[in-house]
Structure 1
Amino acid sequence: MATEGENLTLVSGFILLGISEDPKQQQLLFILFLSMYLVMGLGNLLIILAITTDARLHNPMYFFLANLAFVDIGFTSNTIPKMLVNHVTGHKGIPYAGCLTQTFFFALFVSIESFLLGVMAYDRYAAICRPLHYATSVTPQVCILLVAASWTTALGNALTHTLSLTRLSFCTNNQVPNFFCDLSTMLKLACSDTFFNYVMVNTVGSLPVFFPFVGILVSYMRIFAAVMRIPSTKGKWKAFSTCGSHLSVVSLFYGTLIGVYFNPTSSHISQKDTVAAVMYTVVTPMLNPFIYTFRNSDMKGALGALISRKPAFTP
């Protein structure tokens, strides 16, 4: 809240303080983040190309995975390139419009990823619990509709929060104690009344996280109950193995996200928040391709065929 006499003129830009101000650590972090960004981009791009080119992977599970890989590329590309450019140029500034743009796309991709993880849980539920109806319940049309609904809802959510930010004033404190602008950071920097914004965050903003998360929990409770009824140990292991990768990604994504945005904290950005931000903006998107291919023979085969430029099928 602004005190009397403070300048309420809208600031022209912000300063991204980054993760560390130590020059030696900055050099190491630059190499580390550049490497992770390249690995993330290459890994997710290979996932998309493999699924697109291999007919064996033209099914709902891999269709959703390809969309998730695309979202991961956009998610990380919204923050890391700017941080790397700032490091190279020595300029830590970001324009007001650029900060709002980062906030918008951050909210957009977080919401879409959350919805996609929920949709993928439903796909696993339908495949394991209702296998006889799977082909008729999870059709290509349904898959496209679910993805389109995820994007549309996420777009509305991101627009709502970004537009509500434009009504706020930012005073003398324009230093962002992070390496990118996100909704939580911007609200903590605002010097005008943020009550309405926090109401929106705790109501509308929580829905793209809350509903998919509850859907995932319900889906896996039913999956677990169905798998436990399988008489053979081999059958149980095979059913669980199809869900292991998704559960790992869900744990990484929601664990860090909920820890930051749904945990009561003080008005300042803590080091824990920054570490968590690194986890869900860089580490998780980088690890997703490895998690989904590590124990997936079909994906390994498709990637091997893609890299070696050999046909995925041999006559």
Structure 2
Amino acid sequence: MPQAAVSSEREPKAGRHSSVVFADDQEWAGHLCAFVRGGLERGQEIKYFADTTDPERVLRALTEAGIDAVAAVRRGQLSVSTATQTYLAGTGFDPDAMIGLWHEAVEAAAARGYGGLRAIGEMSWGARDIPGADRLLEYELRIHHEVFERLPLTAWCFYDRRLMSDDCVDVLAGAHLTCRGNPVGGPVLRVAPLADRPGLRMSGSAGYDTRDVVAAAAAAVRGMPTQRVELDLADLRHLDAASLATLADAAAGRPVDAPLGVRQAPPSLRRLLRLFPEFGSAVEVLDR
């Protein structure tokens, strides 16, 4: 039977979806054990989705740290599986399907008497040639509002610098409201969800070299189910015409008839809107 449940509603929403960046086995084990201990203390169900790590190694690391992982597995509170058995099963990674699976998993944990769900996912598969891997950034940008704002779920995304390039890690880890472990570097363009309303914060410079990041941000804008979506561009130094067109197309393609609201627009975007007034129906500067 589950232990006495303590709702994860007591955990700050901004901290429920965190990136965890590490570069050695000791760091990995430290984050793993802290996370699992927290879930056991709160009476939550805990899932670990491995990519390159042997599931037995996960249980062994917990046991060596004094956590009775075997007992937790036996009573159904802890499970260790692989990404290929779960969200990479079938034809590849699908953000919409994964968002639906999180809702189902949280409902199942509640039905079993747990006070929420806690999950770790190894994300190194995002750097490999896997169908749908190019949508991982879109997914990370969407799930704060579509999942963590709504559900008693805490998830840490594990990024191993030994398995992914620094640029890839820094962009993906930066798409979370909180990052644990090795500090995130400074990618040319960083995109993260807004904490207090549906939308994104873009910082750095959006141009030719950041086409993939802009495309992922645009896909996230298009996929958000809310009436209003905003961009906070206070820390964006530059945005070129192609990037603006990509974002405007995404806003125009949303199922709701509302422009993409932009706050703190940089001078480059304001100039582009004057040069290309046709974008004005899809992009609205909110603080003129």
TM surpasses 0.5: no
More strand by share: 2
TM-score (norm 1): 0.21
Highest RCO, 1 vs 2 (Cα 8 Å, sep ≥ 6):
1
TM-score (norm 2): 0.22
Q: Whose Rg is larger?
A: 1
More helix by share: 1
